[in-house]
Each structure stands twice: as structure tokens, then as C-alpha cells.
């Protein structure tokens, strides 16, 4: 199987010259978090929410984007694509033909393919045996700080009986609306007190490992008001069934319960796609 069989050929992209506002418009209209940047038909960069939030005062796309992104050719074997995604921080790779953009492959695209493959192997070999959990009445801003300190991308929510009743992740922590508020607030921050005012409270695309600061403030309401339904799997759940659950619920990570329905860890999408290196 090759990259051309997995990629999305209807890739959204920005062109040079361009602006931050145009990129944000693409993000909002299409529900995406990054776009390749093209000049004269060639891929010259990629821009993500991370780039926009890190360079909040910059409007020009040429200075916002990460230049010379890692790309794969359309005939690159899928195993090689998986190797790149599982050994780098990247969650998407532009696909090119003679340097010209012809598609894009994301981790979720590969998860979708795994869901179609009916791989019966149990997920137990792809479980991360740890997961941060909080009480359902914990204020969301405190949950954000807990996730920041633990460098967690997903947090389980427990009730008074220690049952998993929900999950929160970075997609909940930051919406496109908050990104816009972030930009507007930062425009009016003085350079003299910006460092003191900025603190992290949850950033959607690449989360806390890439962001040290933010003026976005999370509400102090209980986390139960924001959590998602607690989708979960068991160690004996098949790889393809787990992939289907990720797709159906738009999850990058799925909590794992043991035989007593206690939280036992989680499965990350990047770990799950490693199964393709074995088949």
C-alpha cells in the first residue's frame, strides 16, 4: 500500500504571499489545524495553530510558516509513512509528486484505514499504562494546570465511586473562538508586562509541550460541564475496533479499563498505527 492510496487528495492549502487571517479562515471553515503552504505549485512550508500562537504579532504567512516541511512522495510505501509519523512530532505529512502538492496524510487517515482492515490483534501491546484522572467537580482551570504539569494530552474524569464518567482533551481546552480571543487580547498587551501575564491553560493543536505561555484563561466551572462521553476499550479489544471507536468519537487517545472496569491506561493513535509496521 502506498501513500497515494491513503492520502486525502482534496487538501486545503495556503499560498504565498498570504496572511495569518487567511490561514485562520481556512482552519475555521474546514475544521482543520494545519495547512501546507504552496508557491508556484511547490510545497514550501506548513503552518499550524502552533505557529500562529507562537508568533502572535506576525501577519505574513512567509514568516509564520515552518519552511521546508517533511513530505512524502505519492509512491512512498505506507510503512515508511508510519515510520516517519511514529518517530517524529508530526501528525500530518504533505504528499507530493515532483515537488507539487497532491494530497496530505494525517494520523487519523491511517487510523481510518486500520479500521477497515479488520485487524483482530488485541490492543494490549499498544497501551500506555498510565493516565491522569481528576474528580468530576474539579474546576476546569485546575484540570488544565494538572494536564500542563503532567504533560498530558487527555485526562480521565472520575465520579465519587471512582468510575470513569468522562474525558477532557486539548480539543476541549481550546476552540477556534478562543484562538481569536487570544490574538485580540495579545494585541493589546504591552511588551513590558506580557511575560508576567502569560500562563498556559490548554492549547488545541500541539498542546503544552509546544506552548509555554498563553493569555487564554479557562473557566473555573466543574470539569463535568465540559467533558466528553467516556468512550473506552479493554486490553482484549481488537486493533480495528479501537480504531473505529477513535474515528466515531474524534479521539486521538482512548482510555483503557481493566476487568474490574478500573482505569488502566490509554491507547494513543500514534502507538496504534505501529501495528502496520508488523503486518
Residues 139 and 257 placed together within one structural domain of the fold: yes
In a domain, 82, yes or no: yes
Residues 208 and 92 placed together within one structural domain of the fold: no
In a domain, 187, yes or no: no
In a domain, 186, yes or no: no
In a domain, 27, yes or no: yes
Residues 74 and 141 placed together within one structural domain of the fold: no
Say if CB 37 and CB 43 are below 8 A apart: yes
In a domain, 193, yes or no: no
Q: Phi, psi (5° rounding) for residue 182?
A: -55, -50
Say if CB 215 and CB 226 are below 8 A apart: no
Three-class secondary structure assignment of 229-263? CCCCECCCCEHHHHHHHHHHHCCCEEEEECCCCCE
Residues 106 and 132 placed together within one structural domain of the fold: no
Residues 95 and 130 placed together within one structural domain of the fold: no
In 3D space, the residue among 208, 210, 209 whose CA is nearest the CA of residue 218 turns out to be 208
Say if CB 22 and CB 29 are below 8 A apart: no
Look at residues 110, 138, 166 and tell me which one is the last residue of a structural domain.
110
pLDDT in tens, the chain (279 residues): 898 899 999 888 999 998 888 888 888 888 787 899 999 889 999 998 778 767 777 889 999 898 988 999 999 999 999 999 999 888 889 999 988 899 999 999 999 999 999 899 999 999 999 889 999 999 988 888 888 788 887 899 999 999 999 988 876 665 544 555 555 555 444 333 333 333 333 333 333 333 333 434 677 889 999 888 888 999 999 999 999 999 998 888 899 999 888 999 999 999 999 999 986
Residues 130 and 268 placed together within one structural domain of the fold: yes
Look at residues 110, 141, 161 and tell me which one is the last residue of a structural domain.
110
Residues 158 and 103 placed together within one structural domain of the fold: no
Confidence (pLDDT) at 228: 86
Residues 102 and 145 placed together within one structural domain of the fold: no
Helix 107-116 with 239-249: angle, nearest 10 deg: 130
Look at residues 110, 144, 163 and tell me which one is the last residue of a structural domain.
110
In 3D space, the residue among 181, 138, 176, 187 whose CA is nearest the CA of residue 158 turns out to be 138
Model pLDDT for residues 159-190, shown as the tens digit of each residue: 999 999 998 887 666 554 455 555 555 544 43
Residues 150 and 217 placed together within one structural domain of the fold: yes
Helix 78-87 with 107-116: angle, nearest 10 deg: 130
Q: Phi, psi (5° rounding) for residue 177?
A: -60, -40
In a domain, 208, yes or no: yes
Residues 130 and 262 placed together within one structural domain of the fold: yes
Claim: this prediction has a pTM higher than 0.85: no
245: domain CATH number is: 3.10.580.10
Residues 128 and 228 placed together within one structural domain of the fold: yes
Say if CB 192 and CB 258 are below 8 A apart: no
In a domain, 191, yes or no: no
Confidence (pLDDT) at 54: 72
Confidence (pLDDT) at 90: 86
Q: CA–CA distance from 210 to each of 49, 148, 200, 202, 203 (Å)?
A: 11, 11, 11, 11, 9
Residue 82's domain comprises 3-110
In 3D space, the residue among 27, 28, 73 whose CA is nearest the CA of residue 46 turns out to be 27
Number of structural domains in the chain = 2
Query: Residue 106: which residues within 8 A CB-CB, separation 6 or more?
Result: 8, 91, 92
In a domain, 182, yes or no: no
Residues 256 and 230 placed together within one structural domain of the fold: yes
Amino acid at each position: 500500500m502506498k501513500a497515494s492510496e491513503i492520502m486525502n487528495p482534496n487538501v486545503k492549502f495556503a499560498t504565498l504571499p498570504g496572511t495569518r487571517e487567511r490561514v485562520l479562515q481556512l482552519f475555521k471553515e474546514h475544521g482543520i489545524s494545519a495547512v501546507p503552504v504552496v508557491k508556484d505549485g511547490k510545497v514550501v512550508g506548513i503552518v499550524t495553530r502552533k505557529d500562529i500562537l507562537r508568533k502572535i504579532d506576525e501577519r505574513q504567512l512567509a514568516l509564520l510558516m515552518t519552511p521546508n516541511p517533511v513530505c512524502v512522495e505519492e509512491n512512498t510505501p505506507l510503512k515508511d509513512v508510519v515510520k516517519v509519523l511514529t518517530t517524529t512530532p508530526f501528525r500530518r505529512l504533505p504528499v507530493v509528486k515532483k515537488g507539487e502538492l497532491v494530497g496530505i496524510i494525517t494520523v487519523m487517515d491511517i487510523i481510518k484505514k486500520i479500521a477497515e482492515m479488520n485487524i483482530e490483534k488485541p490492543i494490549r501491546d499498544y497501551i500506555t499504562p498510565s493516565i491522569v484522572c481528576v474528580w468530576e467537580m474539579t474546576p476546569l482551570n485546575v484540570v488544565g494546570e494538572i494536564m500542563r504539569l503532567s504533560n498530558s494530552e487527555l485526562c480521565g474524569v472520575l465520579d465519587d465511586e471512582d468510575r470513569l464518567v468522562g474525558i477532557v482533551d486539548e480539543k476541549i481546552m481550546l476552540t477556534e473562538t478562543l484562538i481569536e480571543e487570544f490574538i485580540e487580547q495579545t494585541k493589546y498587551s504591552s511588551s513590558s508586562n506580557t511575560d508576567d501575564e502569560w500562563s498556559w491553560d490548554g492549547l488545541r493543536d500541539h498542546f503544552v509541550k509546544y506552548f509555554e505561555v498563553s493569555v487564554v484563561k479557562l473557566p473555573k466551572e466543574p470539569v463535568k460541564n465540559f467533558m466528553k462521553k467516556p468512550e473506552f476499550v479493554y486490553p482484549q479489544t481488537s486493533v480495528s475496533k479501537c480504531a473505529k471507536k477513535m474515528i466515531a468519537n474524534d479521539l486521538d487517545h482512548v482510555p483503557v479499563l481493566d476487568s474490574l472496569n478500573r482505569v488502566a491506561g490509554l491507547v494513543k493513535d500514534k502507538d496504534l498505527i505501529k501495528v502496520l509496521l508488523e503486518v
